[in-house]
Amino acid sequence: MFRTRRRWRLPVLGAILLLGAGLGMAVAMGAIDSGRPGQHVPAVARRAPVDRAAHVAPPAPARPSGAPVTAQQLTAIDATLRYTPFISIGGNRRRVIALTFDDGPSPYTPPIVRLLARMRVAATFFVVGQQLDFFSAGLRDELRTGLAIGDHTENHAWLIRLKRPAQFGQVRDAAARISQLGAAFPRLFRPPYGSFDRATLAVLRQLRMLMVLWSIDPSDWRRPGVGPIVSNVLSHARPGAIVLLHDGGGDRSQTLAALPQIINGLRGRHYQLVTVPQLIQLDPPGRNQKPPVAGGL
């Protein structure tokens, strides 16, 4: 089992949604509350449960259709999967950095996407399926702008608390929603809370997805202030870094305000900002990948 401390308290949506669509939207805006990564803790091996999902055929090879993933980038993802099921950093050989955003879409997604477009920045968004009930326009904005899309489960489930069939459903259902809105079937996945186990890896292998973790976490979800967010990212910048940010899950005004300084600061240090698929192609990740450690960076 691999665990990192993060956050989220999921509401009992069934009861809440009965109160009306307006209240449901309010819940969706605040249901996701992200936290910091914690410690990688091996678990005692357990017998895998009988899995109906194991008999489901994997998807056909993904084709870029609305997402900026080229055939060469898909080939690079497949090549990476041959030697590691997850990455947290690129190969440290080129001055490229990937900005990534979790927990959306939300009301903060459109202004973040507009800012990225205005500053000509590539980025990757890991989408929560249930958020598309209310904020699907955010995903469409991401696709129109040419940003990369990844899967962040259907309702931000803590996967290590679920058996493999339920984990499969969490990943597959979000991927299906994303595809229905015009994106390619996602080849990238990020586990909520950074938490995963052997069952998660088996599910991703079945779906031909690469798990994307991170090497820089400024804990923007805590709203520590624009200055600390910017300082954390810039002080830990290194070739191949993957930065964890959030466009959903609560008030992301500090993240939005910090982005111009982060972008200008990284460019001032001669970094190219790329999507995760671009990073994998331009700076192939090394074989000795490690999950984020306790306390973040």
Please name each of the domains of the chain with its CATH number. Answer: 13-43+68-282 (3.20.20.370)
Beta bridge partners of residue 243, listed in sequence order: 99, 216
pTM of the predicted protein model: 0.81
Q: Which region, left, alpha or beta, applies to residue 63 given φ > 0 means left and ψ of -120 to 50 means alpha? A: beta
208 pLDDT band (50/70/90 cuts)? very high
Query: Of 102, 217, 247, 283, which is the active-site residue?
Result: 102
**Has 246 been annotated as catalytic?**
yes
pLDDT at 274 exceeding the cut of 50: yes
**Has 102 been annotated as catalytic?**
yes
Q: What average pLDDT does range 1-28 have in this prediction?
A: 42
Token pair for 124: 């990757």
* pLDDT tens string 116-129: 999 999 999 999 99
Q: Look at the block and give the residue holding tokens 């809105």.
A: 181
Strand segments, DSSP code E, in 25-134 are 86-87, 96-104, 124-127
What's the Cα-to-Cα distance from 70 to each of 59, 74, 91, 184, 275, rounded to whole Å? Answer: 18, 6, 20, 11, 12
In 3D space, the residue among 158, 90, 141, 95 whose CA is nearest the CA of residue 247 turns out to be: 141
52 burial type by CB count under 10 A (0-12 exposed, 13-18 middle, 19+ buried): exposed
Among 42-46, 250-254, 258-262, name the one with the lowest average pLDDT: 42-46
Query: Of 103, 217, 220, 246, which is the active-site residue?
Result: 246
Q: Look at the block and give the residue holding tokens 């830990």.
A: 236
